[in-house]
């Protein structure tokens, strides 16, 4: 009898940035960031992010997110891969990332940076070689919106 080894399915890990418009004074609001785990940008995925604002920020994952269907998508950056069997490990890390409702300068982008730092070295997760957390703000801003992919 032949035994076939099935290769584990890998999902992509993205940081998606969404334009939030301008405030009452016409000043651009910071982009909303989320970590998206999906087969590809054209497939539904799960968004891991914090929602609301001070003092009500909370971590809340959202399933069935179609990144490319969002009208407010500004940038998307592929930062790595995770085996499908290891996705629960990501969620466990994300649930433990502290939400800061005290520091008024803290926002969803800071949560994403801390979450990415937290998944470094998690078994089954492979981040892009040379990815530096301190450069992620610039990398995300330089990324396209993914619609040309």
Question: 52-107: per-residue pLDDT in tens?
Answer: 999 999 999 999 999 999 999 999 999 999 999 999 999 999 999 999 999 999 99
Is it the case that residue 18 has pLDDT exceeding 70?
Answer: yes
Tell whether 3 is covered by a domain. Answer: no
Tell whether 149 is covered by a domain. Answer: no
Instruction: Answer for the pair 19, 30: CB distance below 8 angstroms, yes or no.
Output: no
Which pLDDT value is given to residue 144? Answer: 85
Tell whether 119 is covered by a domain. Answer: yes
Single out the residue of 44, 134, 30, 130 nearest to residue 72, CA to CA. Answer: 30
Q: In 3-state terms, the chain is what percent helix, strand and coil (to 5)?
A: 25, 30, 45
Instruction: Report the share of the chain in percent with pLDDT over 70.
Output: 95
Is it the case that residue 149 has pLDDT exceeding 60?
Answer: no
Tell whether 66 is covered by a domain. Answer: yes
Domains held by the chain: number: 1
Question: What is the C-alpha to C-alpha distance for residues 123 and 40, in angstroms, rounded to an integer?
Answer: 21
Mean pLDDT of 15-39: 95
Domain with 112, as residue range(s), is 10-142
Q: What is the mean pLDDT of the chain?
A: 93
């Amino acid at each position: 009898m032949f035994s076939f080894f099935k290769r584990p399915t890998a999902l992509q890990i993205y940081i998606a940035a969404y334009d939030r418009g301008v405030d009452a004074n016409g000043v651009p609001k910071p982009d909303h960031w989320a970590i998206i785990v999906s087969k590809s940008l054209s497939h539904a995925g799960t968004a891991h992010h914090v929602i609301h604002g001070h003092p009500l920020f909370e971590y809340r994952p959202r399933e069935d997110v179609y990144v490319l269907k969002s009208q407010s998508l500004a940038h998307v950056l592929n930062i790595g891969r995770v085996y499908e069997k290891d996705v629960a490990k990501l969620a466990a890390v994300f649930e433990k990332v502290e939400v800061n409702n005290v520091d008024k300068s803290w926002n969803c982008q800071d949560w994403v940076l801390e979450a990415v730092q937290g998944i470094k070295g998690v078994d089954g997760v492979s981040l892009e070689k040379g990815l530096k957390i301190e450069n992620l703000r610039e990398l995300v801003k330089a990324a396209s919106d993914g619609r040309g992919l």
